[in-house]
Amino acid sequence: MSPTLSLILALVPAVLSQQSNLTSFSQQLNSTGLNALGGLVESLNQTEAGRQVIDTLASNNVSTVFAPSNDALTAFATDSQGTNASDLGAIFSYHILPGNYTNMTTNYPNVTLGRTLLNGSSYVNMPGNASQVLIWSRYPENGTLFAFNNGTNVSVTNASTIGNMEVYVIDHVLRPPGNMSAVLQDPRNGITNLSAIIASMGAMSDNGGNETRVTTDVANLGQVLDETPGITIFAPSDEAMQRANSSLNGLASNTTALSSLIGNHIVNGSALYSTLITPNASGGYLEFTTASGEPMHLASNSSGLYVQVNSSPPARVVRTDLLARNGVVHVIDNVLVDTTSDVSKASSAYESATSAARTATAAAAGPVTAAPGQGQPGSGQSGSSGGAQSTYGVLPGLGIGVLFLAVGWAL
């Protein structure tokens, strides 16, 4: 027998198995009336992400599927003409979660988070190569489930069990989260004033080597926040920024202090979703280290969740879980006016977070309730979290030799 024929015969079982998976998946979708999604199976099979979706759903493992309705896919096809097969595979991998989440959905304002199949550097940039999360909840007044998606809520219109799949039919196609800068600049999120200040950091010039050196022709803070794996921002609302206008104006000529203040709103090295930052004990708190190396405390009471850095005025978290491809943003109602920094502590916290993330599972099944390297929330519990990279170090994914002296960020 020729080597070529032997190779072809060796591939036959794999090809037949893949075709069987395609047929099985398509038939399961069609049986629920999801004909439009069933018709996309061949297109999904053209990409690695799409084949992962098909193989996962055709396996014996339990999966949770947020399946767009026929009408949702029709609208998507109209709005997304020209979407290539690779993007299509990535988009639909964001609709699939390994594991069974039945009876795990909480009532809003509480949420449930699970890791999807969406991964890959083009779409996700998380510590430890973790997959992107999907967030959903339930309206307590009528019991309707809904998923959070880039500033809008996508409703679940039907739920059923098909073989090994828990299927939630949704009225829109879910779009994977975009860059951090897009989240900050989206007017629906009400944090554009912070975005403007971050953008202005790129225009700061060299001042004799004594302050931050950043120029617009190399890199800026916005680029760092877009490209660093694991960024959490506690972003003051536009109203909060306006109230703090006098304090911020006083820092306009002090780039070191302004850099430190912004860094004290950021945790670097960890994506801290709302389920990871709420203490579970009365009177308890969580402590993280900011990108400026200062202690950040989070505590909750009957009026909400509050964040404070050192002796800054506390701020209440008024909106949670604005997702980005590399992290998350929470909106707060006050500016954390603290201009201190500690590069050594920032570096230590960042190294702790990134080291722990390397041992995490990319797409572990089950709700996201504990961060890599973080202790469970409790009374007086400290959590390992990211800080800025040490002076003259290099943030992951960047190799540009520009230095944030005040915060300890080396681009």
Structure tokens at 164: 């090994």
> In the prediction, which pLDDT does 408 show?
32
Cis preceding-peptide flag for 109 (omega within 30 of 0): yes
Phi, psi of 69 (to 5 degrees): -70, 170
The CATH 2.30.180.10 portion of the chain extends over 12-170, 180-410
Q: Looking at residue 351, what is its pLDDT?
A: 85
pLDDT tens string 180-216? 999 999 999 999 999 998 887 755 434 333 333 222 2
What's the CA angle centered on 286, arms 262 and 306, to 5 degrees? 60
> 12-170, which class in CATH?
mainly beta
Q: What is the pLDDT of residues 91-108, one digit of tens each?
A: 989 999 999 898 889 999
**Residue 129 carries which side chain, given as an amino acid letter?**
N
Kindly tell me if the per-residue pLDDT of 394 is higher than 80: no
Residue 34: pLDDT band (50, 70, 90) is: confident
Topology of domain 180-410, per CATH? Answer: FAS1 domain (2.30.180)
Q: What are phi and psi of 213, to 5 degrees?
A: -115, 105
Q: What percent of the chain has pLDDT over 70?
A: 76
Give the pLDDT band (50/70/90) at residue 147: very high
- Displacement of CA 386 from its chain's centroid (Å): 15
298 Cβ neighbours under 8 A, 6+ residues apart: 277, 278, 279, 285, 286, 287, 288, 305, 306, 307
- In this model, does residue 386 exceed pLDDT 60? no
H/E stretch holding 154: strand 152-162
Contact between 193 and 59 under an 8 Å Cβ cutoff? The reply is no
pTM of structure: 0.81
Beta bridge partner(s), residue 290: none
What's the mean pLDDT when you consider all of the chain?
A: 78
Q: Quick check: helix, strand or coil at residue 229? A: coil
Q: Is pLDDT at 159 greater than 80 in this prediction?
A: yes
Structure tokens at 84: 């290539």
Higher pLDDT, 74 or 36: 74
3-state secondary structure at position 318: strand
In this predicted structure, what is the pLDDT of residue 359?
A: 67
Q: Are 54 and 95 in contact (CB under 8 A)?
A: no
Decide if 294 contacts 340 (C-beta within 8 A). yes
The average pLDDT across 173-180 equals 95
> Do residues 370 and 388 touch, judged by C-beta distance below 8 A?
no
Q: Average of pLDDT values for 257-278?
A: 92
Query: Can you tell me which residue has the tokens 């009374």?
Result: 379
Residue with the two structure tokens 């230590």: 348
Tokens 């960024």, residue located: 231
Among 25-34, 124-133, 242-251, 311-320, the range scoring the smallest mean pLDDT is 25-34
Residue-level pLDDT at 407 = 32
Q: Residue 215 carries which side chain, given as an amino acid letter?
A: T
Q: What is the pLDDT of residue 282?
A: 61
